[in-house]
Amino acid sequence: MNKQAMYAPRDEKNPWGILDTWMNADEWKEVLRWYPFSLRSLMLDGRWFEQARCKSRDSAYEIMKALAAARLRDYFVIVQCTLVGNDGCEKAVVCFPGIEESMLRERQERIKLGWKVE
């Protein structure tokens, strides 16, 4: 996994970003002070859905293992959020199943297909 890949949370180029969040920047920073790890799953239309916010990577990993056992075809990522810069930064620390590149390829395929959730 690329250790250097850090993105602003609301950056359009952030492949792990949740652009349609209900939190503004200040609320996002307050939440990440207490819960710096975000567990996200890939939706059918290529967007990410936040499944959980956790205090540790291990907690997020345990939740991810339970969800992955129940939902065998889903893709998950654990994103570490930090207070760096004006907006903060996010980087993927665990991808399941597979590696970061295969997950991003799957996301691009879903976006290209234009799957709609009704």
Q: What is the number of structural domains in the chain? A: 1
Q: Is residue 44, in this structure, part of any structural domain at all?
A: yes
Q: Domain holding 57: CATH number?
A: 3.30.190
Q: Is residue 57, in this structure, part of any structural domain at all?
A: yes
The 10s digit of each residue's pLDDT in 67-94 is: 999 988 888 999 999 888 777 888 889 8
Q: Are 79 and 90 in contact (CB under 8 A)?
A: yes
Q: Is residue 11, in this structure, part of any structural domain at all?
A: no
Q: What is the mean pLDDT of the chain?
A: 83
The 10s digit of each residue's pLDDT in 86-115 is: 778 888 898 888 787 887 888 888 888 776
Q: Is residue 33, in this structure, part of any structural domain at all?
A: yes
Give residue 2's pLDDT. Answer: 47
Q: Is residue 9, in this structure, part of any structural domain at all?
A: no
Residues paired with 77 in a beta bridge: 40, 95
d(CA 30, CA 34): 7
Q: For residue 106, give its domain range.
A: 25-113
Residues paired with 40 in a beta bridge: 50, 77
Q: Is residue 69, in this structure, part of any structural domain at all?
A: yes
**pLDDT level of residue 116 (50, 70, 90 thresholds):** low
The 10s digit of each residue's pLDDT in 7-54 is: 777 777 877 777 667 777 788 888 888 999 999 998 888 888 999 999
